[in-house]
Amino acid sequence: MNAPLTDHVVLVDEHNREIGTADKLTVHHAETPLHRGFSVFLFDSSGNLLLQQRSFGKKTWPGVWSNSCCGHIRLGESAVQAMRRRIHEELGIAGAEVAVLLPDYRYRYARDGVVENEFCPVAVGIINEPPRPNPDEVAAVRWTPWEAFLAELEGDSGFSEWSIEEARLLAADATFQAFLARLRRP
């Protein structure tokens, strides 16, 4: 279940065109180049959101609470393939079905001298099995209703900056609202 030790990221230009690759462990620093990533918000069949606290051993945002799963897209891998791979690696869930709702999201945030700088499609999915977090990747998980999560984001929430911005974009998205409504039907 552990990620390969020599994992890489796909470097891109401002138009999201591939320009090379770099080792994931060495690319994240104060001047992190633009690369491809992704974010996933996973829900149970009742509409509760799975949140994760990032492992305290991570180089980027250690111990910070965030959305269900984040990661990087490998060369030759689609965003959905990368999402399914990472959901399995981080949360022990195989075969998760995800749908990309925000395909063109891009962000750049800095914390503790490390920058994340990504083109980052955002997806949602439904899982029907309990997560089995990989302790190398995830310190803790918890479920929360979507509205409670949005309320937590007001003020100094302690969540990753990208998860805050992505949640607000999803909350304003009609396709996401329809997704939540389908989950809540009796």
Interior angle at CA 59, CA 125 and CA 120, nearest 5 = 35
* pLDDT 10s digits, 67-109: 999 999 999 999 999 999 999 999 999 988 999 999 999 999 9
Burial per residue of 44-63, b for 16 or more beta-carbon CB atoms within 10 angstroms, e otherwise: eeebbbbbbbbbeebebbee
Which amino acid type is present at position 60? T
What is the spatial distance between Cα 174 and Cα 63, in angstroms, rounded to a whole number? 32
Using DSSP, how many helices (H) and how many strands (E) does the chain show? 5, 11
> Exposure of 173 by Cβ count < 10 A (0-12 exposed, 13-18 middle, 19+ buried)?
middle
What are the domain boundaries of the chain? 8-180
* pLDDT 10s digits, 106-122: 999 989 998 999 999 99
Q: Which residues contact residue 115 at a Cβ distance below 8 angstroms, ignoring those fewer than 6 apart?
A: 28, 29, 30, 31, 32, 108, 109
Q: Give residue 25's pLDDT band: very low, low, confident or very high (50, 70, 90).
A: confident
What is the spatial distance between Cα 184 and Cα 186, in angstroms, rounded to a whole number? 6
* pLDDT 10s digits, 123-155: 999 998 999 999 999 999 999 999 999 999 987
Task: Write down the CATH superfamily of domain 8-180.
Answer: Nucleoside Triphosphate Pyrophosphohydrolase (3.90.79.10)
Residues designated as active site: 70, 118
What is the spatial distance between Cα 85 and Cα 93, in angstroms, rounded to a whole number? 9
